[in-house]
A = this chain, B = another copy of it.
């Protein structure tokens, strides 16, 4: 494929409105910008959420697709990579979807919590199609000046990168917050892309046992392929039974570390109860507001001496570390098998439907 003067992109016109392919003029590049010819972009659970209006403030019409990989088509003057080497047409790169983390505000400078920077904007989520080719379900993506890019390492094919997709930096961040120690018992709640990447990463932190609590069977099979020691199917066991099962597998104590990646509020109390006294619980899957939960602060938190850590978004370090790990350990784990299906731009609506129905572990768009 060679880019022409018109670029095709799949567009969500609004909440629950059918996805349609639209044509955009090829943009002029500002100095420092990059036009990226898309090789692959991802369809993830977040895209389903935003299509249904579960996220506030999405600027429809929208070109979805926050994690993508492509070939440099053109640069606005000289643009350097992280090592100071100029990017050239044909170079295969990816980029951090989160842009405009300001580096100046109180959250960036004092709290050093850049994922809470109020200026951050996200490709394919909070940048709308009216602002440009700022999503990955498109023949080309416009990378604004300053977007943080990364060359794919030689031993990391684009297929494997996109297979890990946005679940990888998110799970790198969750694993960083989890501080797993060598030999720890680790529970992963949820068997979607974030949970499955976390299964591999828990082993790359030296977990002594990895237990996945999730569904359906297809995804639990993937969890096993990723190295989980035990899987617990939530369709077969009640929450109380699940907690009991985890305790039985961990000397009666519960997991040293539990990572929640489910999107289901009720999972949170269950996860606290699956975790041992003085253990650590990371909550990364409560990405949208789907309701309240109950818990008992004496038993579930204070007496347990439990540590609970919310985990929001990811920054460039998580993205960078994810790519490094994928290049080094990609052969060891079954990341490639996370992709169940490829879709063209025309089929983007179908891709969304298949993801929503959990028919696939991961869908990708190949424009």
Question: Which A residues contact B (CB, under 8 angstroms)?
Answer: 82-83, 103-107, 109-113, 115-116, 146, 148, 172, 175-176, 181-183, 201, 203-209, 251, 253, 256, 265, 268, 276-278, 283-299, 301-313, 315-317, 320-325, 327-329
Q: What is the CB-to-nearest-CB distance from A224 to chain B, in angstroms, rounded to a whole number?
A: 15
Say yes or no: A296 contacts B292, CB within 8 Å: yes
Say yes or no: A283 contacts B295, CB within 8 Å: no
Contact among B103, B115, B305, B309 with A116 in the assembled complex (CB-CB below 8 Å): B305
Q: What is the CB-to-nearest-CB distance from A91 to chain B, in angstroms, rounded to a whole number?
A: 17
Contact among B109, B183, B290, B297 with A293 in the assembled complex (CB-CB below 8 Å): B297
Say yes or no: B310 contacts A183, CB within 8 Å: no
Q: Quick one: given A112-B317, A113-B278, A183-B321, are A304 and B310 in contact (CB under 8 Å)?
A: yes
Query: How far is it, in angstroms, between the C-alpha of A273 and the C-alpha of B106 when the chains are bound?
Result: 19
Q: What B residues does A104 contact at CB under 8 A? A: 146, 148
Say yes or no: B277 contacts A297, CB within 8 Å: no
Task: With CB as the reference atom, state the residue of chain B lying closest to A263.
Answer: B298
Query: How far is it, in angstroms, between the C-alpha of A308 and the C-alpha of B301 when the chains are bound?
Result: 9
Task: With CB as the reference atom, state the residue of chain B lying closest to A328.
Answer: B208
Give 9 nearest A-B pairs by CB, closest first. Answer: A183-B324, A113-B278, A204-B206, A103-B103, A286-B302, A183-B321, A208-B324, A305-B312, A116-B277
Say yes or no: B308 contacts A109, CB within 8 Å: no
Q: What B residues does A181 contact at CB under 8 A? A: 176, 321
Query: How far is it, in angstroms, between the C-alpha of A301 and the C-alpha of B329 when the chains are bound?
Result: 32
Count this chain's copies in the assembly.
4
Q: Quick one: given A106-B251, A176-B181, A277-B107, are A310 and B301 in contact (CB under 8 Å)?
A: yes
Say yes or no: A82 contacts B106, CB within 8 Å: yes
Q: Quick one: given A286-B297, A293-B294, are A320 and B110 in contact (CB under 8 Å)?
A: yes
Query: How far is it, in angstroms, between the C-alpha of A113 and the C-alpha of B286 when the chains are bound?
Result: 29
Contact among B182, B290, B308, B310 with A325 in the assembled complex (CB-CB below 8 Å): B182
Say yes or no: A306 contacts B310, CB within 8 Å: yes
Task: With CB as the reference atom, state the residue of chain B lying closest to A115.
Answer: B305
Query: How far is it, in angstroms, between the C-alpha of A312 and the C-alpha of B182 when the chains are bound?
Result: 18
Q: Quick one: given A107-B277, A182-B172, are A328 and B296 in contact (CB under 8 Å)?
A: no
Q: What is the CB-to-nearest-CB distance from A291 to chain B, in angstroms, rounded to a whole number?
A: 7
Q: What B residues does A286 contact at CB under 8 A? A: 297-298, 301-303
Contact among B253, B283, B313 with A106 in the assembled complex (CB-CB below 8 Å): B253
Say yes or no: B298 contacts A289, CB within 8 Å: yes
Task: With CB as the reference atom, state the residue of chain B lying closest to A327.
Answer: B208
Say yes or no: B288 contacts A183, CB within 8 Å: no
Contact among B109, B288, B292, B309 with A320 in the assembled complex (CB-CB below 8 Å): B109
Q: What B residues does A288 contact at CB under 8 A? A: 298
Q: What B residues does A291 contact at CB under 8 A? A: 296
Contact among B109, B148, B277 with A109 in the assembled complex (CB-CB below 8 Å): B148
Say yes or no: B294 contacts A292, CB within 8 Å: yes
Query: How far is it, in angstroms, between the C-alpha of A181 and the C-alpha of B173 when the chains are bound?
Result: 11
Say yes or no: A209 contacts B328, CB within 8 Å: yes
Contact among B204, B205, B317 with A110 in the assembled complex (CB-CB below 8 Å): B317
